[in-house]
Structure 1
C-alpha cells in the first residue's frame, strides 16, 4: 500500500506534466467497497481539454514519423513498467472499483500487459496490398498512415484494461492520444500515463479527468480526428451525433446483452460450472457477460436448479477478503439501476436466488437468478450490467436463435452443444460480433472484439483494431 498516498489527489497528465484543472475544480472519488470518499480528481473544463489536444497536436508530427521499431520499443517498455509497478497499479484500480485484488493481479493485469506487447509486435506488421501496375505505365502503392489526434473515452468497469485497449493500437499506428477516463475511476489511467511518460515524448499520451461535459469538450475539439469510446448505447449515440458535425471518424464499442444458448445435448455440468463463474465475474459489469441464458425445455429445470444453487454460493465481498467471488457495483448509480430493474419485474417473473443487497456498507449486490421472464420484459431487452442473470426456455433451434437475436444489442453470444453442425449454424445465424462455442467470455489480443447493431462498430484488439487507427493513401507513380 506504499503508493496509496498518490490516490488522494489524482491529476491530469498533459504534455508530459501532472496538472490540476485550470479552474481548480475537483470531483470526489468514492471507494465502492465502503461508500467512503478516498480522493479527488480534476473536473477538467474546455481550457484543460484544449491544452491536452494542443499538446497532442504538437507531438503528432514527431511521433507519426517514428519507425515501427521505435514505437514497438516504447510499448514494450510501458508493459514492463506496468509489471514492475504491479502493486501501485493494483492499488489504484482496486480503490476506485472495489475489485477483488487477487483476481485483478491474476487475470486483468497480465491481460493488460499482453495487449501492450501484442500491439508492440503488430506495429511492425501492418498488412498492405502489393504494389502493382493496375493501368499501363503507372505503379500503384498503398500507404497506411496515422489518423492524427485520437480522443478516447473509457468506462468504469475495467478502467485500466479499456484504457490500454484504446491507447495501445493508437500509439502503435503512430497517433497521439487524449484519453478521458470515467469520472469515478481515473486513478489507474493517470498512473499509466505517468509510467508511460518515461518512455514517450511529451504530448503523445495525455489524460484529462472530468465528467460528461469534459467528454463533450473533447469530442467537439477541432484538433481531434478520431473519437473512440467504450460505453453505453446512449453515450455512443450522443457522441456520434456530436462527431458528425466535424466529420470525425468513430470507433464505438457499446452495450451488450449476451445470449447463451444451451441445447439439450450440452454438457450441463460443464455449462453450470463455467457460467456460474463467468456470468458474475466483475459483478456482472462486463459488456459480454452471460446475462440471458436460453435453455432447451428438456433440460431447463435441471439447469436452472443447478445454476441457481451455484449462484447462491457466490460471495460478494471486499477486495482483500479471500472468500470474495466478486466485488461491489462500481458506483451508487449503477447499484440503483440494477435494483430498479429487479423492483420493476413483472408478476410472471420469479427471483430464484439473490435479489437483494447484503447488509453491509458499499455498493454490493447478491448474485441473482431470475426465471419466468418473457422476451419483451425490460430485464430481457435491457443490459443489466450487474450480477443478475435471466433464464428462459426454448423449444427448438429456430426459437433459440430468434430469442437470442431479438434484442437491440449484438456484441457477443455463446452456444452450448455437442453437435458440430448445430454450432456452425448458430455461429452463422447469430447477429453478434463474437460467438463462443462451449465456452463464454474469453478474449485474446489476436482476435477482434466488437459488435453490430446497437453494440456499435469498430473493433478493439487484433490487426483489425490496429487498422481502425490508420487511414489509407493511394500513391501512383
Structure 2
C-alpha cells in the first residue's frame, strides 16, 4: 500500500499498520547515485579492508537479530523462528564473502609478440532490487558479493518490506564508509529511474519473470548488464526406490516453508502411480500438525500469505482445480483470523494440463501428479519454461542419473531447498540468468579487462 509520498507497511497477520516510509524523490535518488559513484573510487582499492568491514557487518547483524526478526515478522508475516533463520543466513552470507578468495588477475597464454594480463575489476554502482518474500537474505545475496568485489550498492526493496530492509541497511551503514551502501524507496517509477540512472553499471533483480522481462527492456536503454533470479515451478520427482514416507514428510515442510512463498520451494510432486496413496497419507499427516497463525505468536509454524493478491491467486487456482474434479485436502480461507490466512492444501487428481500444476502457486497449495514413466516426466519438465530448481528422490545412483538430465539451475538429490551461500545459485530459461553465491557470485559483479603489451 502506498500514497504518492509514502509507503505504508501493513502486518499481513493483523492488517494493522506497521509504519510508513517516505518515497525517495528523483533529486534524492540522483544524489545517492552520485555519492555511490564517488565512494566507489576509494572502496574499490583494498579487498582486505572491504572484507574486514563485511565481517564486522555480519557480527553487528547478528547482535541486533532479535529486533530485526521481530520487525521482519511484523512486516512480512513469517514466524519469528523463520525470521531469525533469515537473519542468521544473511549474516552467514556476509561472513562467507568476508573470507572468500578469488583471483583479480591472471597471466594470458604466452605469445612471442605480446605480454598480456587478464584482469577482473569491479563495475561501479550496482542496483540491487529486492522482493518481499525473503527481503533480508535476498538483499544480502546481492550486496555481500557486490561489496566484496569492490562495487558500491543502491538497494531498492519491495514497497511492502521497506521498513525492515531500511533498518538492515542503516545497521550496515553504521559500519561501512559513507556512500558505499544506500537505499531508495518507491514503486515501479523509482525502480525504473534507478535502473536507467547513468551512474548504475549493473542491475541485480529477484522477482517475477514478468517484471524481470520489463527490467531487461529498461536496462537495454543504457546497455546495463543484469542478473535475473526469477520464478520457478520447481518439481520433486520420486522414483520407485524413494523412501516415500521420508520424502513426503520432508516435502510437506519444505513446500509450506514461508507459507510456500519461496521461489525454490517444491511446487509439485511427481509420484509413481502405485505410491500416490502412501505419499499423500504421510503428507496429510504432517500437514495436520502445522499451526497456522500470527507469526509473532508462540507455536506458529505457518504464517499468513503476504498480501491479498497472493491469497486470491492461490485460492483461485484451488477453486479451478476443485471445479475440474481435483481431490483437495485443506485449502480453506481462515476467516476467524483478520489477516491473509488459509489452510495448507494438498491437491490430488490433477495432471500437467491443470493450472495448479502448470503455474507457480507461490503459496499454500501442493499438487501431486501420478506417473508411470520417469523418462516422460523428465522430457515434459525440460520442455516447460521454468528451470530454477528441482529434486529427485530415490536410490542415490539412480536419482543422480535422473538429476543429470534435468534442465534447471540446481537439482538436489534426496533433499530440497538446501541453499548454501558457498554454492552458486540461479536459474535457466524463464527462471533467469546469472549467479549469486560462491565465487560465481563475486564474478557476477566483476568485468574483465585485458592489458596487452607489445614485445
Common fold, TM-score beyond 0.5? yes
Task: Identify the range of structure 1 (238-247 vs 84-93) with the bigger mean alpha-carbon deviation.
Answer: 84-93
Does the alignment pair 1:96 with 2:56?
Answer: no
Paired residue for 1:5? none
CA deviations on 1:94-140 (whole Å, 9 max, x unpaired) are 111121112322x2222111100001112xx1236642553115222
Pick aligned residue for 1:42 from 22, 25, 42: 22
For residue 168 of structure 1, report the CA deviation from its aligned partner.
Answer: 0.3
Paired residue for 2:284? 308
Paired residue for 1:63? 43
Question: What SS does structure 1 have at the residue aligned with 2:160?
Answer: coil
Paired residue for 1:361? 338
The 8 Å contact of residues 392 and 400 in structure 2, kept in 1 or not, is answered as no
- Normalising by structure 2, we get a TM-score of 0.95
Pick aligned residue for 1:416 from 393, 418, 443: 393
Aligned positions of 1:338-349 closer than 5 A: 338-345=314-321, 347-349=323-325
Paired with 2:108 and 2:214, the residues of 1 have a C-alpha distance of 43
Paired with 1:132 and 1:462, the residues of 2 have a C-alpha distance of 24
The 8 Å contact of residues 74 and 199 in structure 1, kept in 2 or not, is answered as yes
The 8 Å contact of residues 82 and 258 in structure 2, kept in 1 or not, is answered as no
Pick aligned residue for 1:236 from 187, 205, 212: 212
For residue 43 of structure 1, report the CA deviation from its aligned partner.
Answer: 2.2
The 8 Å contact of residues 396 and 413 in structure 2, kept in 1 or not, is answered as no
Paired residue for 2:174? 198
Paired residue for 1:352? 328
Does the alignment pair 1:179 with 2:155?
Answer: yes
Paired residue for 1:324? 300
Question: What SS does structure 2 have at the residue aligned with 1:370?
Answer: strand
Paired residue for 2:57? 78
Paired with 1:257 and 1:280, the residues of 2 have a C-alpha distance of 14
- Normalising by structure 1, we get a TM-score of 0.91
Paired with 1:129 and 1:431, the residues of 2 have a C-alpha distance of 33
Question: What SS does structure 1 have at the residue aligned with 2:166?
Answer: helix
CA deviations on 1:316-358 (whole Å, 9 max, x unpaired) are 1112323211111111221122122222326444243112221
> Taking structure 1 as reference, are residues 24 and 372 closer, same or farther at Cα in structure 2, changes over 3 Å only?
closer
Task: Identify the range of structure 1 (107-116 vs 461-470) with the bigger mean alpha-carbon deviation.
Answer: 107-116
For residue 397 of structure 1, report the CA deviation from its aligned partner.
Answer: 1.8
Task: Identify the range of structure 1 (338-347 vs 429-438) with the bigger mean alpha-carbon deviation.
Answer: 338-347
The 8 Å contact of residues 152 and 228 in structure 1, kept in 2 or not, is answered as yes
For residue 204 of structure 1, report the CA deviation from its aligned partner.
Answer: 0.7
- The total of aligned residue pairs comes to 451
> Runs of 5+ in structure 1 lacking a partner?
1-20
Paired residue for 1:373? 350
Question: Over aligned residue pairs, what C-alpha RMSD do you find?
Answer: 1.7
